Amino acid sequence: MSTPDQKQQPSEISPESSETTAAAPKAGSTAKTEISGRKIFFLHPPTWIREELVYGMIKAGYKAYTTEESRGLRKLVSLYPGSLLFANVDKGPKGFDWLKTLGSMNDLFKEKDTRLGILSEDNRKDTIKRYLSAVSAPCGYIVMNGAQKEIASRITTQVARHKARGRRTQVRARCFDNNATVNVKYGGDNHAGRVLDISAAGAACVMPSLDELLRKDDWISDIQFKLNSRICTLAGKVVGVRTESEKTFVLLFDEARSDSVEEKIYAFVMETIQRNFERSLA
C-alpha cells in the first residue's frame, strides 16, 4: 500500500462529463440526507480504488468504505439506507450471478433509497443494456477501462451528482479499543488521555487530570496524538467542554499544522471508519 502522501487524489470532485448511462437522480431527497450526505460503498473494488481513491474521497469529506461481502449485500443495504453502492460485477464468489442478485434487489434499493452504480471492464453494448434493463442503477454503468484518473472522474462525478458529501467538510472517526490516545503538555506538566473521535480539523478527548484546569478558549501549544502506530504533534484550542458521564474537551486544531500531520490523521480516519463498518456487518 502506498503511503498517504503518495496516494492519487481523485480529480476535482464536482459534476463533469463522464462515460455513464445513469438516469438523472430523483428529486425529493430528505432534508437529513441533504445535510448529512450519503455513505459510499465499493463492493469488490480493485486495489487502486481501495487504497487510493477512497483515501482521496475521505480527504474531500466523503464517507467511503470498501467490502468484499457480496453475499451480505442485503444486510449492508438495510443497515445503511440512503447510500451509494458501486458494485464491481467482474469480481465475486465463484458462480455468483450479479445480474440476478442485483435485479432481485430493485425493490429493496428503492425502499432504502440506495443509489447503485455498476463497475465493469466489459464495455459491450449488449452487456450494458442487459444490466441497465434489469437493474435500477441511478449511478449508471461505469466502464473500468482507461487511465485510473479517467475512471476516478467517472465515479466522483456520480458521487457529487448525488450530493453524497452533504454539508460535511471533514470525516470524523469514532475511536475504540484505545487505538487513539493523547498527551498534552499544559502548565508545565504532561497529561494523558484518550481520544473519543477525531478528524483533520479537531478531536474530542477525555483527559481526567485536566478536568479542573482546562477551560473553553484555552490554547494548547503541545498536543501529541498516538493514532495506532502514528505519532503526530500539533497545537489547538479548546472550543467546547461537554459534561456527560465524563468531561470531554473539544479541540480545534491550529490550521498551521504540517502536511505530514494531516496525512497521518486522514490515514487513521480511513482505517478506523473502515474497521467500524466491518464490525457492523459481522
Q: Are 249 and 210 in contact (CB under 8 A)?
A: yes
Residuewise pLDDT in 10s, the chain (282 residues): 333 333 334 433 333 333 444 444 444 445 566 778 999 999 999 999 999 999 999 999 999 999 999 989 999 999 999 999 999 999 988 889 999 999 999 999 999 999 999 999 999 999 999 999 999 999 999 999 999 999 999 999 999 999 999 998 999 999 987 899 999 999 899 999 999 999 999 999 999 999 999 999 999 999 999 999 999 999 999 999 998 789 999 999 999 888 999 999 999 999 999 999 999 998
| List of domains in the chain | 4-161 (3.40.50.2300), 173-281 (2.40.10.220)
Task: Please give the angle made by the CA atoms of 89, 93 and 98, to the nearest 5 degrees.
Answer: 35
* Cα torsion through 70, 75, 81, 86, rounded to 10: 0
pTM to 2 decimal places: 0.87
String of DSSP letters for 170-210: S--EE--TT-EEEEEEETTEEEEEEEEEE-SSEEEEE-GGG
